[in-house]
Each structure stands twice: as structure tokens, then as C-alpha cells.
Structure 1
């Protein structure tokens, strides 16, 4: 909310008597009163000042009532999805998303999806202050999602992940009974990136013309390999 706005004297003279226009200063208490009620449900909100720079102030209003409703709706939907999975062993894939790219993310959303039905079975929000670093948020998200599905009685048959530096060691040491696959899309993406870097050198440009064929062959080999073989797992 902007409390002060630069004034253009020349523009004011063109538009009329600028000194007759009413001007207001707003108290902090008045701002709190304006944001006192939720616009959705008219319940009381918790208001706090989150940022201030000169005459500019940013305020955040949180409605506990709406947040409670959303949490209950999410829990209800997740329970319905988990109960619908009646198979003995469910094949899951997972991935994490961050609020910012790089290694300075503050939040990470981690989800588990049933490969067969494409239903989101579990989702967890992790804040970096709950872990040792932004890289550790994915591992923490996986641990929480695992706890969520196991508490719901869902039996996990296999899990497909990317080659995250903390996920693979965790799967080898802490979840040894589970069949672990690496996501082929991520492997192909990393391979293509390395091929492009290699082909950027003048002497290796011919490799760039073969990069798409190499990626297609990679998919062909994996798809036509028998399930459970060392090639598909590694």
C-alpha cells in the first residue's frame, strides 16, 4: 500500500486547482482496521507488517478460518485418493518444486504421484529453516510423503526419482526394500545437455547432429529392457 506518491506540479496545474484536492495520511491503526476482516469469509485476520521502505509499506493478512477450511478440504481429498488405491503395490513417481531456482530457495513442494492413475497421493511443503540447506528440502519432503502414505496404509511397490544427490543415498540406506528407478526424462535431459556442451567444440560438431538420435536410442533401450534388470535400475 503506497502512503506517499511523487507529485507532478506541472501536471496538476494543467488539470486544475491541485491545492483544492483532498489529501490523506493513514495511521498504522487505520491500516490494521482496513485489513481486520477477511474478504472471503468476513472472519478476523492476523495482520502484520512484512516490509517497509520510506512511505511504502507491505502488509500481510492471514485468515486462520480460510486456512483451516483449505487444510480440511485437502485432507479430505487426500484421504479419498488414498482409499481409492486398492492395489497391493503402487508404483509412484515423485518430484520437488522450489519457489526460486538455484540454491537459495526458501520453500519446496514435494509430491508423490501414482504412475497408473496420475493421481497425486501425497504432497508436503518444506521450508529451508526446517532442514540444513535448500538441497536437503527434497530429502525431507520424501521422508514426510513416505510417512503420509504409510500412515494411510498405502503399500508402495516402486518409486521413480531423479538422480538427486541426497535421494539416491537415502534410498540405498533407508529404504532398501523398495524397488528404486531413476526417471528417464531427467537422465535424457542431462545426457543431451552434456552432448550439446561436447558438440560446442568445433572438432566435435558432428556429435550435435546425432544428439537427438542418441536420446531416442536411450529411450528405446530402457523401454525394451526387462523389468528389474540392472540396466533399468541404474
Structure 2
């Protein structure tokens, strides 16, 4: 810490003033505010440092002369010799205390919410910023930092896709900010199936389409148009697109229907066959040559479960392989099972099952979104969009982490009991720890400080009009229900 930067001196006695070497230890180095370590200091212990005049060494009292959120300034004026100086708790980034900006940045970049963090600091009786200050920082410095960092990352990802020179294989899935038909926002993520990283994200507000149900389709069309503009032609409306369905989504739909069927009278056998049926679906997708072959393999299941194996692809079954009871042809359970597995709506989907790529990485990304933008909370358009981009940056940096190992070099495994498998245990690899602040957060912090230093308040692109803008806004005095509150 340099005395010239930290003190305002009046009639400074230079023969007494500490030199730079006196202030600096071996561990102190020139560093940016975001990288410098901060400490929690109590009020009484802080003021105990200002009980003696630096010039005449007589008793003197320091007082807090300025407060701005986490920043304070302590001024000490000696009544004996008149010596006066001011100590500042933190540096300024232009006209903004560094601690205030970095606190706002840390709240947003970690996926936390200002209400909870500021309440926590208030319970601790720590001097901190107000929520209005956080939202000002978010608007002018933090959101632009997120968007700029994402654009840089996205440019690299798209260049890698183009450099491969092979047809683009992408997967897409939508996510609404709330369940049912009351969703206000719908996001659509595009994953590169080769690198398993998110390469684009679209956010749609429900008043941009005819209904909430159309937000996912609109997000897809916008994403495909964007990829086409980046020399990555992939439009669904073009006939050369090979559109495939994720096996997991189709399997989950079948599993739910079989679960309901197994609860009906005389249909207990369906529960015993459910896992085999879903496994057969994955086998059909993985081994089918084309859509017709996948469908042919799927239909062979209906004969197999009745102990008829003329159309089956397996070898002769031994008595040990016949562990489950066979269905009786024409029985209630068999007929209802046929209606589900060979329905007119399911068979076209079976033909389009993906044999190479699945969207499991998108499901993993959605779990990350739940941390940065939980559905329990409501966000503005730009606020939600920035948190979705944070989730993308975090996911892309941490996806595909190698498996952790013990000190002896053995791969670490955990035993997982999932609800979907009804208590059946599954070995689960333990990856190395996530990196919350090694790469992408450092970039975000650097840009936030850079924008604040420049003093430019970045405005955002236009957002869709609020939902309430479509309605008439009457004066409160004209609404009968407000009359009871009048005095």
C-alpha cells in the first residue's frame, strides 16, 4: 500500500512518514482489486489503530468521516499539533469503491441472489451496499461483462465447429422458467454433439409468440437462423436436415405409460417387463441401420414377450434365460401393452431415434441452470438471460471433467440410489472438483473492473415489452377495491 494513494496529508512531516519498504511485506505485490485478499475487521478493533497521532505521538481520536457501502474513510486530526490525515479502507475504481462493485459482481457471478446475500450481511451487522446499488452495478457493468465474455467464448466454439469441416450435429432442448402454461420465459439451448458444449442460447418471452407452448419452437427457429448466419447451415425447414429424437425422452414417456398400466387389474406382469422394454428401445436405436430397421427391431418385441421368437434377433434362449413369465396372446395385459408400444403416435418417433448422439449433456446443463436461475424466483428479461449465459459458461468449463482418483491412483466411485430405478444401486464415477473461479469468473471480474474504470455505462439491447403493457392501466382511485384503503 502506498502512502500517497491512501492518505490525504496536511503539513506532513516527511521525516516521520513511513517509507514504501515499511508498508510492504514480502507477500504484498501489485495486484488488481479483484485479486487482492479482503479481511473482516470489527469496528472497535479498527478504530483502535487511530488512538495516537502519527506526528507527535500524543493521544488522538480517529472518526469515520465517510461511508459508502463496504467502504469507509477514517480521519484523524490531532488537537495538539494540528496534524490531519485520512485512511481509506479500499481503493476506488474511478468513482466507485472497489469493494462495492466486487461484492455485486461476486453475488451475480456465483449464481446467488442479492436479497439473500444482503440479508446475510445485515444479520452479521456488516456494512454493505443496498439492493439498489447492486442493480445499478448489474445494469451498467456486470450484465455487459457477461455478454461480452460469452461472445468471446462462443466465437471460439463456433470456429472449432467450422474447423472440423464435418456436418454439424446439434442437439436442442427447451426450458421454461415455471411449470404449466403460466411460463413467462422459455430458453432454448443448442449443444454441439461432438464437443458436448453449449454453443448457443435463445431466450423467448411469451408475448413474443401466440402462447407459452410456442416458446420452445420459436427458440429453436431463432437458434437455427443464428447458426445459419455463422456459416453453420442447419435449418429444420430444409429437406437435407436429418432430424432425430433423443432415446431417453422417448423411453421416459414409455416408462410412465407402462407404470400406469401396471397398476391396473390383471396387468401386474407389465411391471416385471418394464425395464426389459426400455432396454430394448436403446438396443434398437444403437443397432438399427436406418429408421425402418429400428422400427422392425422394435416391433419384434411384441412377439418376443409372448414366447414367439421367429422375428427375434437373439440366439436360442436357454431355460436360464427365461426368467420372466411370458404374456398370453390376446390377454388384457398384452392388448393394452400393444396399444402403448405400437400406437400410431409412437411408431413414427421410433423410426427417428438417434443412434449416435443423445442430449444427456443438455439435461446436465439444465441442472446447472437451476443453480443460477432457480424457477422459484422471478427475473427480468436481461437478468434471466445473463444468468442463463453464466450457467452456459460454468457448464462448458466444467463438463467432461476427468474422474477423480485416490492417493493410490484408483478411480473413485460412489454408489447412487436413484428414484427412477426404485432403490437399485448404480456405480457413479466421482469427477474432480468443479472450478468456480479459475477461468470464466476471472474473465468476468476483469471485464467488470475494466468497464467501471472506463466510466462507460453500457446500455442493453431492447427487450420485449412487459406483459402488463398489453393491458389498460387505470387510475387507482377509479378501482372500487382500492376504496377501502382510503382514509
Normalised by the shorter chain, which TM-score bucket? 0.5 to 0.7
Counterpart contact for 1:106–1:134, Cα < 8 Å: yes
Q: Please state how far the C-alpha of 1:202 moved relative to its aligned partner.
A: 2.3
The aligned length equals 171
Counterpart contact for 1:88–1:155, Cα < 8 Å: no
1:202–1:190 CA distance, 2 compared to 1 (3 A): same
Matches within 5 A, 1:43-62: 61=135, 62=138
| Residue of structure 1 in register with 2:270 after alignment | 207
More deviation in 223-232 or 74-83?
Answer: 223-232
Structure number with larger C-alpha Rg: 2
Counterpart contact for 1:199–1:205, Cα < 8 Å: yes
Q: Give the TM-score taking structure 1 as reference length.
A: 0.65
In structure 1, C-alpha distance between the alignment counterparts of 2:291 and 2:180, rounded to whole Å: 34
In structure 1, C-alpha distance between the alignment counterparts of 2:227 and 2:142, rounded to whole Å: 26
User: After superposition, what is the alpha-carbon deviation per residue over 1:32-60, rounded to whole angstroms, capped at 9, x for unaligned?
Assistant: x98xx7943699xxxxxxxxxxxxxx978
| Residue of structure 2 in register with 1:40 after alignment | 101
The answer to whether structure 1 residue 76 and structure 2 residue 139 are counterparts is no
Q: Give the TM-score taking structure 2 as reference length.
A: 0.33
| Residue of structure 2 in register with 1:63 after alignment | 139
User: After superposition, what is the alpha-carbon deviation per residue over 1:65-120, rounded to whole angstroms, capped at 9, x for unaligned?
Assistant: 22112111111111110001123301111101111111211111111111111011
Please give the secondary structure, in 2, of the residue aligned with 1:178: coil
The answer to whether structure 1 residue 177 and structure 2 residue 296 are counterparts is no
Matches within 5 A, 1:1-234: 39-40=100-101, 61=135, 62-85=138-161, 86=163, 87-156=165-234, 171=236, 174-227=237-290, 229=292, 231=295, 232-233=351-352
User: After superposition, what is the alpha-carbon deviation per residue over 1:143-188, rounded to whole angstroms, capped at 9, x for unaligned?
Assistant: 11101111111244xx9xxxxxxxxxxx4xx233211111111100
Unpaired segments ≥5 residues, structure 2: 1-67, 70-95, 105-130, 296-350, 354-487
* Greater share of strand: 1
Structure with the larger RCO, 1 or 2 (CA within 8 Å, 6+ apart): 2
User: After superposition, what is the alpha-carbon deviation per residue over 1:119-145, rounded to whole angstroms, capped at 9, x for unaligned?
Assistant: 111111111111111111001100111
In structure 2, C-alpha distance between the alignment counterparts of 1:192 and 1:123, rounded to whole Å: 30
In structure 1, C-alpha distance between the alignment counterparts of 2:352 and 2:267, rounded to whole Å: 31
Please give the secondary structure, in 2, of the residue aligned with 1:212: helix
In structure 2, C-alpha distance between the alignment counterparts of 1:192 and 1:228, rounded to whole Å: 22
Counterpart contact for 1:128–1:134, Cα < 8 Å: yes
Please give the secondary structure, in 2, of the residue aligned with 1:180: coil
In structure 1, C-alpha distance between the alignment counterparts of 2:103 and 2:280, rounded to whole Å: 59
Q: Please state how far the C-alpha of 1:209 moved relative to its aligned partner.
A: 1.1
In structure 2, C-alpha distance between the alignment counterparts of 1:78 and 1:143, rounded to whole Å: 19
In structure 2, C-alpha distance between the alignment counterparts of 1:42 and 1:211, rounded to whole Å: 52
1:42–1:209 CA distance, 2 compared to 1 (3 A): closer
Counterpart contact for 1:41–1:66, Cα < 8 Å: no
Unpaired segments ≥5 residues, structure 1: 1-32, 44-57, 160-170
Counterpart contact for 1:89–1:155, Cα < 8 Å: no
